[in-house]
Amino acid sequence: MRHVLAVVDDTGGASGVIAVAGAMAEVLRADVREVRIAVGSGGRDVETAVLHELEQKGTILGVLADGTLPGDVSWRVVRRSTKPVILLPSRMRTPEASRKVISRVLLPLDGSPEAAAAVTETAGLFTRTGVDLVVLHVFDQVTTPRCWDQAAHARQAWEEEFLARHCAHPGVRMELRSGVVEEQVVNVAVEEYVDLITLGWSRRIGRGRARTVRRIVADADVPVMLIPMTRRAAPPPPP
Amino acid sequence: MDDPHHRPYDRTFEAVMFDWYATGVPGGACAVPIRRRVAMLRAAGVDVVVMGDGDRDTVGGEPRARPDGPGRLWLCVRGGDGGPTEGGPDDGAEAVRAVLVSLAERGVGAGLILIIGDRFGPPGRGTLGGSIPLIPEMARATAVSVGPEPGGSPPEVLHLGGGPATLLSLLDRQVRRRRHRRTPGVDDDPAWTIRETGGDPARHRVTEALFTLGAGGFATRGSVEEPTPGSVPLVLAAGIYTGGGAGQHLLPGPLWTGLLLDPPPEEDLRTLDLRSGVLTREETGHTPPVRMLRLACVSRPGVVAMRAEAGAGRLRAGSPLRPPPEGQVTEGRLDGHSWARVAAGRAGMAAVAAQRVGRDDGVRTLERIAAYVADPARRPVLRDAAAALEAAERAGFDRLLAEQRAAWAARWEDVDVSIPDDPAAQLAVRFALFQLWNNVDRRDEVAVGARGLSGGGYAGHVFWDADVFVLPAVASMRPAEAGAMVAYRLRRLAAARARAAAVDCAGARFPWESAATGDDVTPESGHLGGEAVPILTGQLEEHITADIAWAAVHHARWSGDRGFLDGPARPLLIETARYWASRCQVDDEGGAHLGDVIGPDEYHEAVTDNAFTNVMARWNLRRAADLVGPDHAEGRRWRALADRLVDGYHPASGLYEQFAGYFRLEPLTMEQVAVPPVAADLLLGRKRLAATQIIKQPDVLMLHHLVPEEAEAGSLERNLDFYGPRTAHGSSLSPAITACLLSRAGRPDEALDLLRVALALDLDDLTGTTATGLHMATLGGVWQALLTGFAGARVGDDGILRLDPRLPTAWGSLGLRFRCLGRRVRLDITRESVDVWTDGELWLRLDAAEARRLDGPARLPRRRE
């Protein structure tokens, strides 16, 4: 039996976690399994317990509220888990604020093969189950293309190739932005009314991309699914 | 372990060289078997080289039977008293060299030669000691010894032993390979081949564009044969469009390369052989491997051919023609062959194909030949394609391949580059030339889109890229094709007249983006990254009208066709001048202005008095005035107006102001923004950028490139110093032409740095968009950077070729072959001298020396550098 693990505690985030876990379970055609953390449990114990549940064979992914578990347990779990984890930003702790269905997902991709590889299976799953998938790429000082010859033709050519390399699933829509990645991810999530942000991440707290991920989780109005990157690939080619 | 499918001698060779006495017919033996093989090989198109002792008559008498055959027979005499001597003059070695030269003239490199001999001798004895002299030029040949070699054979020689029996067996294998239509290979010469292992999935579609093969106005992308996710196989034809308005795009034709391979190759090596114009593929890690060779016949417009082979259970041919991704497809059979036709509106493309499937030694073989026809105005005639196919079938695949090699050899004989100190740059320049030939190969009329025929990018729309970047390169490669590019514009003069009339102007105004009819097909909106923006180039980027007039003049100058401007191009020059005359506004003080335009720097829109546009318009007016003569009243008005056109030149600074008000913008340089090349508009945003002096590509400097005679003397250097640091090179057109300008300004080392960017643009996919097609303007710009930039080659109205070479420090010499003024010209440039060869009379002026008449070879000393 496959299930989505809902990690709930007594601090008020439970209903949101359960709602998101239920919505994801519907997409994944899985059940929800709740794991309740008692108030007063030690951080290390909670981390161990949650990771143990996550690593169970039937667990597809876990859902946690950011910042409610003792210490920095949520991030420690995310860092050590080999399975995807959805973090609920702190502002989403009420059932009213939680999405009941996942119908549109934002998938920010930085153009690296690692990030694309991490999310490709999930992206395929979303598109197969009718979820509207919006791929976002943000041009910054590092990722801005060398040339952009003509605004209509260049966009078409660039987008076509980016999707072919990084998210070759039917029906995917692409958004491009320029600026600070975390800000643009949060902005586009609002503009596009997405129900979930899905990110591939290196699981290394403190590195550039991880900082970006933490900012997104802190500022987003929707749950953020973090999919650990496990595959090492060649250096990212442009775009 | 001996794998019969990977034996070095179990390949298809184009020439076989063997020793008559030692390995073929030892003393007293019967010569009949060997004569029969020689005859069969020659009949199959294989060149045979017989090495023998004694004098030429003696050697010539030995093979006796010399049936006619496409394959040639060479008789080589080993020198002296029975064997060449090491290190000294050697008749045998010289004879072999002569054979190699002759083979090379037919496009057969050393890697396609099988050498069979004996007595090659022990390692260290030297390569001249055996029955066949292994001269260094034959390093890539496959050498086999069938003799005893008691002392061992040199490492480059494969020792099989077995004497004459083995020789006969090896020759039989070659005959058999041809009879069974086995897939030939190429000469793996690193100076001529682009290789891809297919290991990086991100490169797959890039490779499809890089490996495009084209001829006769048709091109096939280099997609792999089996269905592959993400693959974009396309066959496109020049000038065959579908759709309307801005959505007009090249019509994909029926696909001819599709095969079913089960399982598909996991790893392979694909090789584009620039020298012979063929693409090959060989699977690695599997036996028998999948092998493929394909070509687009240069000498038979529209004819394409391929051979493929794989393990008998893996390869299924399927239908030889498959439907393209769009268009109305009809299919059927005609005279026993498959045909398919794609129609869209009035345009259409059709193909007729034949294929043969066979079997040999556990391998299934496939041979497929197809012929394409296309018509922009009506349904293409299948019978025309069928006739072309029938002729190709009669010739046979081997003949088509031989023709292909010879045709490409002839191209490279006329146009080539040699940079001994920089083989990587040399190969990349050859790639640029190769793809220019592939994409511009028509003599009646040719529409050269921004990505040529190598992909669907830019919809096949024709920009100034064609006239200013591609045409000057083609003019020095294939004058007739350059004429066809001008013809494309001339035949759309009526549309240009209508466009001018639509904006209440006289004359002719050409569209910024053009396709089938010559109407403007520029999209009206697009995206800078994520920012939706209006596209104003269709309305405002007017310099293209003068650019097209310039292209016609450039073609006339380089081809030496003095009647062209007075004849076919005359209406174009006159009508474009009329346009400018009606477009200019004269102020109260008599100054003439052009307002609301976009220059080549597209970061600043709707500007007034863009220096490039104004100077090009001025040049256009003056040129037309010259054409009509001083007695022509309208011409006198053009000249007077031209003299009043402001050009933004500031004598005190020596700078041209790019447009009115440019110098008042924020003086930002790229040093403060990012390392170029970079799309600065994506980085900074459109509005922010428009308030700065950052520019997309050379703008003022383009007038120094195109019409230096219109620019103030000595102004290039100052303007390069000023505008260079402000240039983002955010256009793919920019690096190559800037390299050209840097060379002219005496900064060839900086020029080489930028040339390398241009050379890598497609080969390394620097833009991330090569998958949608090659950047034709960059390819043309690369050749301009070599010829006009480093060699300083220009042709004026006086019919004199001027040279002013500037070599970068890293290059000790630069060799160029090109067409000019109806002649074939070869240059070998060093810092001390320029060796020139022409195939007829040519007036040439080197550096500041007097012009001199040349005919044949000459060494001209340099005055400076």
Nearest to A151 among B528, B732, B769 (CB): B528
Nearest to A164 among B230, B461, B527 (CB): B230
Q: Which residues in chain B are contacts of A237 at CB distance < 8 A?
A: 200, 202-203, 765, 768
Report, as an integer, the average pLDDT of B243-247. 94
Q: Which domains does chain A carry?
A: 1-95 (3.40.50), 102-227 (3.40.50.620)
Interface of B with A in 686-745 (CB under 8 A): 729-733
Asked if B672 is an interface residue toward chain A (Cβ–Cβ < 8 A), one would say no
In angstroms, the Cα distances linking B259 to B227, B240, B281 are: 8, 26, 13
Q: Model confidence at B345, in pLDDT bands (50, 70, 90)?
A: confident
- % of chain B surpassing 90 pLDDT: 81
Asked if B231 is an interface residue toward chain A (Cβ–Cβ < 8 A), one would say no
Q: Is residue B760's pLDDT more than 90?
A: yes
**What is the per-residue pLDDT across B163-204, written as a single tens digit (0 to 9) for each?**
889 999 999 999 999 999 999 999 999 999 999 998 788 899
> Are B729 and A144 in contact (CB < 8 Å)?
no
Rounded to a whole number of angstroms, the distance from the CA of B127 to the nearest CA of chain A is: 43
Report, as an integer, the average pLDDT of B74-88. 53
Nearest to B529 among A149, A178, A234 (CB): A178
Nearest to A147 among B201, B205, B767 (CB): B767
Q: Which residues in chain A are contacts of B520 at CB distance < 8 A?
A: none
- Element counts in chain B: helices (H) and strands (E): 25, 35
Asked if B766 is an interface residue toward chain A (Cβ–Cβ < 8 A), one would say yes
Q: For residues B540 and B574, what is the distance between their CA atoms, to the nearest angstrom?
A: 21
| β-bridge partners, B721 | none
Residue A198 tokens read as 């899905």
Q: Which residues in chain B are contacts of A147 at CB distance < 8 A?
A: 677, 679, 729-732, 766-767, 769
**What is the per-residue pLDDT across B764-774, written as a single tens digit (0 to 9) for each?**
999 999 999 99
The 3-state DSSP class for residue B12 equals: coil
The pLDDT of residue B64: 60
Q: Is residue B128's pLDDT more than 60?
A: no
HSE, side-chain direction, 13 A CA sphere, residue B73 = 23
CB atoms within 10 A of CB B746: 14
| β-bridge partners, A199 | A226
Q: For residues B178 and B71, what is the distance between their CA atoms, to the nearest angstrom?
A: 13
Q: For residues A80 and A196, what is the distance between their CA atoms, to the nearest angstrom?
A: 22
> Are A148 and B528 in contact (CB < 8 Å)?
yes
> Are A238 and B765 in contact (CB < 8 Å)?
yes
Asked if B85 is an interface residue toward chain A (Cβ–Cβ < 8 A), one would say no
- Look at B88 and B491; give whichever has higher pLDDT: B491
Q: Model confidence at A234, in pLDDT bands (50, 70, 90)?
A: very low
Residue B738 tokens read as 């800037």
The pLDDT of residue B706: 98
Q: Model confidence at A206, in pLDDT bands (50, 70, 90)?
A: low
> Are B683 and A144 in contact (CB < 8 Å)?
yes
Residue to mutate among A110, A138, A139, A153, with most B CBs inside 10 A, is A153
Q: For residues B325 and B332, what is the distance between their CA atoms, to the nearest angstrom?
A: 18
Q: For residues B348 and B387, what is the distance between their CA atoms, to the nearest angstrom?
A: 18
CB atoms within 10 A of CB B598: 24
B244-257 burial code (b ≥16 CB/10 A, e <16): eebebbbbbbbbbb
In angstroms, the Cα distances linking A198 to A15, A126, A135, A222 are: 21, 11, 10, 10
Q: How many Cβ pairs closer than 8 A exist between chain A and B? A: 124
Return the ∠ at Cα A106 (arms to A102 and A108), rounded to 5°. Answer: 150
Q: Which residues in chain B are contacts of A139 at CB distance < 8 A?
A: 529, 682-683
The pLDDT of residue B57: 62
For residue B695, give the DSSP letter. B
**Secondary structure string (H, E, C) spanning B518-533:** CCCCCCCEEEECCEEE
Report, as an integer, the average pLDDT of B582-608. 97
What letter represents residue A18's amino acid?
A: I
The pLDDT of residue B50: 87
Q: Model confidence at B124, in pLDDT bands (50, 70, 90)?
A: very low
Q: Model confidence at B231, in pLDDT bands (50, 70, 90)?
A: very high
Question: Taking all residues of chain B, what is their mean pLDDT, rounded to a whole number?
Answer: 93
Report, as an integer, the average pLDDT of B583-601. 97
Question: Taking all residues of chain A, what is their mean pLDDT, rounded to a whole number?
Answer: 85
The pLDDT of residue B151: 80
Residues B371 and B303 sit within 8 Å (Cβ to Cβ):
yes
- For A136, name the nearest residue in chain B, comparing CA atoms only: B530
Q: Which residues in chain A are contacts of B773 at CB distance < 8 A?
A: 157
Q: Is the peptide bond before B808 cis (omega within 30 degrees of 0)?
A: no
Phi, psi for B708 (deg, rounded to 5): -60, -25
> Are B526 and A165 in contact (CB < 8 Å)?
no
Asked if B210 is an interface residue toward chain A (Cβ–Cβ < 8 A), one would say no
**What is the per-residue pLDDT across B803-836, written as a single tens digit (0 to 9) for each?**
999 999 999 999 999 999 999 999 999 999 999 9
**What is the per-residue pLDDT across A76-115, written as a single tens digit (0 to 9) for each?**
898 899 999 999 987 776 656 555 789 999 999 998 888 8
The pLDDT of residue A211: 78
Phi, psi for A197 (deg, rounded to 5): -110, 130
**What is the per-residue pLDDT across B493-521, written as a single tens digit (0 to 9) for each?**
999 999 999 999 999 999 999 999 999 99
Q: For residues B551 and B547, what is the distance between their CA atoms, to the nearest angstrom?
A: 6
Of A145-159, B116-130, B711-725, B736-750, which range is least confident? B116-130
Q: Which residues in chain A are contacts of B677 at CB distance < 8 A?
A: 146-147
ipTM score for this prediction: 0.86
Phi, psi for B8 (deg, rounded to 5): -60, -25
**What is the per-residue pLDDT across B609-641, written as a single tens digit (0 to 9) for each?**
999 999 999 999 999 999 999 999 999 999 999
Report, as an integer, the average pLDDT of B686-703. 97
Residue to mutate among B688, B759, B767, with most A CBs inside 10 A, is B767
The pLDDT of residue A236: 36
In angstroms, the Cα distances linking B622 to B494, B600, B640, B680 are: 23, 22, 9, 36
C-alpha gyration radius of chain A: 18
**Residues 6 or more apart in contact with residue B94 via CB below 8 angstroms:** none
The pLDDT of residue B848: 84
CB atoms within 10 A of CB B567: 11
> Are B526 and A155 in contact (CB < 8 Å)?
yes
**Residues 6 or more apart in contact with residue A90 via CB below 8 angstroms:** A65, A66, A67, A68, A218
Q: Is residue B795's pLDDT more than 70?
A: yes
The 3-state DSSP class for residue B69 equals: coil
Nearest to B731 among A113, A149, A237 (CB): A149
Q: Token pair 């800000």 is at which residue?
A: A183
The pLDDT of residue B126: 42
Q: Is residue B127's pLDDT more than 60?
A: no
Q: For residues B93 and B114, what is the distance between their CA atoms, to the nearest angstrom?
A: 16
Whole-prediction pTM:
0.94
> Are B202 and A141 in contact (CB < 8 Å)?
no
Q: For residues B334 and B340, what is the distance between their CA atoms, to the nearest angstrom?
A: 10
Rounded to a whole number of angstroms, the distance from the CA of A173 to the nearest CA of chain B is: 13
Q: Which residues in chain B are contacts of A117 at CB distance < 8 A?
A: none
Rounded to a whole number of angstroms, the distance from the CA of B440 to the nearest CA of chain A is: 21
Nearest to B527 among A144, A155, A168 (CB): A155
- Look at A67 and B136; give whichever has higher pLDDT: B136
Phi, psi for B819 (deg, rounded to 5): -105, 140
For residue B185, give the DSSP letter. -
**What is the per-residue pLDDT across A219-228, written as a single tens digit (0 to 9) for each?**
999 999 999 8
Residues B24 and B51 sit within 8 Å (Cβ to Cβ):
no
- For A164, name the nearest residue in chain B, comparing CA atoms only: B230
Q: Is residue B472's pLDDT more than 90?
A: yes
Q: For residues A18 and A4, what is the distance between their CA atoms, to the nearest angstrom?
A: 10
- Look at B80 and B322; give whichever has higher pLDDT: B322
Q: Is residue B844's pLDDT more than 80?
A: yes
Nearest to A139 among B201, B682, B730 (CB): B682
**What is the per-residue pLDDT across B253-281, written as a single tens digit (0 to 9) for each?**
999 999 999 999 999 999 999 999 999 99
Residues B88 and B386 sit within 8 Å (Cβ to Cβ):
no
Cα-Cα end-to-end distance for chain A: 40
Q: Which residues in chain B are contacts of A120 at CB distance < 8 A?
A: none
Phi, psi for B767 (deg, rounded to 5): -95, -10
Residues B618 and B543 sit within 8 Å (Cβ to Cβ):
no
Residues of B recognised as catalytic: 602
Q: Model confidence at B35, in pLDDT bands (50, 70, 90)?
A: confident
Q: Model confidence at B68, in pLDDT bands (50, 70, 90)?
A: low
Q: Model confidence at B125, in pLDDT bands (50, 70, 90)?
A: very low
> Are A178 and B531 in contact (CB < 8 Å)?
yes
Report, as an integer, the average pLDDT of B523-541. 93
> Are A145 and B531 in contact (CB < 8 Å)?
no
Rounded to a whole number of angstroms, the distance from the CA of A175 to the nearest CA of chain B is: 6
Asked if B450 is an interface residue toward chain A (Cβ–Cβ < 8 A), one would say yes
Q: Which residues in chain A are contacts of B202 at CB distance < 8 A?
A: 113, 165, 237
Q: Model confidence at A164, in pLDDT bands (50, 70, 90)?
A: very high
> Are A237 and B200 in contact (CB < 8 Å)?
yes
The pLDDT of residue B346: 83
Cα-Cα end-to-end distance for chain B: 58
Q: Which residues in chain B are contacts of A151 at CB distance < 8 A?
A: 525-528, 533, 535
A14-43 burial code (b ≥16 CB/10 A, e <16): bebbbbbbbbbbebbebebbebebeeeeee
Residue to mutate among A143, A148, A175, with most B CBs inside 10 A, is A148
The pLDDT of residue A237: 37
